[in-house]
Amino acid sequence: MTVQQTFATMGRSTVPLIAPAVVADLGVDPALVGVYVAIGAVAGFLTTMGCGGLIVRYGALRMTQAGMLALAVGLSLPASGWLALFALGAFVGGLGQAISTPSSSHLLGRLAPPAVAPLVFSIKQTGVPAGLMLAGVVTPLLATQTGWRTALLAIGGACAVTALALQPMRRRFDVDRIAGHPLSPADIRANVAAVLRDPALRALCVTMFSFVGLQSLFTGFFVLYLARGLGYGLERAGLVFAIAVAVAVPGRIGWGWLASRLVRPATLLALLGVGMAGAAALAAAMQPDWPTWLAAVVASLFSLTAVSWHGVLLAEVARLSPPGRIGSTTGAVLAFGDAGSFVLPLAFSAALAVTGGYGTGFVIGGALALGVGLLGLRQRLGRPTS
C-alpha cells in the first residue's frame, strides 16, 4: 500500500511539477494550473463519494489496480499538447488516483492493531511525500532532458506497471469482498448523512477540507511559484521541493508515533493546523534574493505540517467508522478533502490573476487552516477532564 500510494501521488503531482515547461512550450496562462488541479479534485470527489460500495464488491486491491490504470491513462492524454486533453486527463487521472487512500484504509483498518493504528497509517502515508520527493527530482529532470511529453508518458507507464505488480496479492487481501454487494446512489447519500451526523466525523470533514486544500496549493503551485515568481530554474525549484517533501517522510512517522503514544490525535491535528498556517505565511513572504537553503527551510516547514498529517487523521476516521464500513466512511471524509482541493486552487488562481503574485493565495489557504486549528484547540482546552 505504501508503494502504490507513492506512485499514485507521483502521478497526480507530475503535471503541476513540470508546469513551467508546459507553460513555456504551449504559451498558456500559468493560472490554468489551478484549473487542472481543480478538475482532478472534482473527479476525486466523485470517486471518494462512491468508492465504498465498489471496494466492498470488488475488493480493495482490485480497485487500487483499476485506479492506477486510470491514472496511467490520465497522464498519457495530455502528452498530445491539446488543452482539451489536459482537462480530460486531469479528470480520468483524478478518478483513478482518489481510490488509493480509501482502498488502503479499508485494508489497514481491518489488519492494523488499534493501539498502533495512527503509526501504521502514518507509515503507509509516507508514500505521499515519497511520491512527491521522487516526482520533484525525476519529473523536472525528465522534462528538461527529454521533454515534458516524455515525462508524462514515463510516469504513466510506471503507474501501469504498479497496477500489474499488485495482481499476485489480490487473492490474499481481497478475501473480504462481497461479490453481490449492491451499488446504489442511495447508499452514497446514506453514508454521507451518517458521517455528518457524527460530531467527531463532521469535525474531521472540516479539517480534511482545509488541510487538503492547503496541501494542494503547496503541491500544485510551489514549484511554479519558485520558477515563475522567484526566478528559480526548473531543476533548482524541483530540488527545493524534493528536499521539502523528504522531510515529510520522518515527519509523518513522528506525528503518528506522537498520536499513538503521547498526544490525542484531535489535539495534534489542531496544533498542526496552526503550524501549517505559519508555514504558509512564511512561504508568502519569500523573496527572490533569499538563499536557496532558506527557501528549502521554509518549504520544509510547509511540508512538515501541511503534507504530514494524513496518517493521524485517517486513523481517527478508521477508529470512528462503523464495523465493515471503513472504506466507505474514509471515502466520505476524503470527499471533503477533494472539495478543498477544488475550491482553494481556484481561489489561488483567481488571486494570481488579480494580483499577479503568489503570496495572497498561500495566505488564503493558511487562514483556513489557522481557523480549524484554533477552533480545535479551543474545543480541546474547553473540554472538561474526566
Residue 26, C-beta contacts closer than 8 angstroms, at least 6 positions apart: 81, 83
For the ranges 10-14, 163-167, 308-312, 321-325, the one whose mean pLDDT is highest: 163-167
Contact status, residue 101 vs residue 326, Cβ threshold 8 Å = no
SS (H, E, C) the chain: CHHHHHHHHHHHHHHHHCHHHHHHHHCCCCCHHHHHHHHHHHHHHHHHHHHHHHHHHHCHHHHHHHHHHHHHHHHHHHHHCCHHHHHHHHHHHHHHHCCHHHHHHHHHHHHCCHHHHHHHHHHHHCHHHHHHHHHHHHHHHHHHHHCHHHHHHHHHHHHHHHHHHCHHHHHHHCCCCCCCCCCCHHHHHHHHHHHHHCHHHHHHHHHHHHHHHHHHHHHHHHHHHHHHHCCCCHHHHHHHHHHHHHHHHHHHHHHHHHHHHCCCHHHHHHHHHHHHHHHHHHHHCCCCCCCHHHHHHHHHHHHHHHCCCHHHHHHHHHHHCCCCCHHHHHHHHHHHHHHHHHHHHHHHHHHHHHHCCCHHHHHHHHHHHHHHHHHHHHHHHHCCCC
Helix 2-17 × helix 199-224 angle, to 10°: 50
Residues 136, 6 contacting (CB under 8 angstroms)? no
Cα dihedral: 28, 17, 222, 369 (round 10): 110
| Residue 386: per-residue pLDDT | 39
Per-residue pLDDT band for 374 (boundaries 50, 70, 90) equals very high
- CATH number, residue 266: 1.20.1250.20
Write the pLDDT tens digit of every residue in 224-242: 899 888 888 877 888 888 8
**Would you say residue 117 has pLDDT above 80?**
no
Widest CA span in the chain: 62
| pLDDT tens profile 334-347 | 888 888 888 898 89
281-307, pLDDT tens digit by residue?
Answer: 999 999 988 888 999 999 999 999 998
Reference 234, options 223, 218, 221, 249; nearest CA is 223
Which of 60-64, 201-205, 271-275 is modeled with the greatest confidence?
Answer: 271-275
- Examine residue 223 and state whether it is found in any structural domain, yes or no: yes
State the cell numbers at 157. Answer: 507507464
What is this structure's pTM? 0.70
pLDDT over 70 percentage in the chain: 96
- 226 belongs to a structural domain: yes
What pLDDT is recorded for position 384?
Answer: 46
Give the separation between CA 207 and CA 371, rounded to whole angstroms: 10
Is residue 31 predicted with pLDDT exceeding 80?
A: no
Number of domains in the chain: 1
337, three cell numbers: 478533502
Q: The C-alpha cell of 216 is what?
A: 494542494
End-to-end alpha-carbon separation of the chain, Å? 38
**Cα 17 to Cα 135: distance, rounded to the nearest angstrom:** 7
User: Which residue, among 170, 162, 234, has the nearest Cα to 10 in the 3D structure?
Assistant: 162
Grid cell listed for 43:
473527479
Instruction: Determine the structural domain holding residue 244 and report its residue range.
Output: 2-173+183-382
Give me the residue label for grid cell 503551485. 221
**Around Cβ 91, how many Cβ atoms within 10 Å?**
19
6 contacts 131 by C-beta, under 8 angstroms: yes
Asked if residue 178 belongs to a domain, the reply is no
Domain presence at residue 130: yes
Does residue 8 belong to any structural domain of this protein?
Answer: yes
CA distance 85 to 267: 43
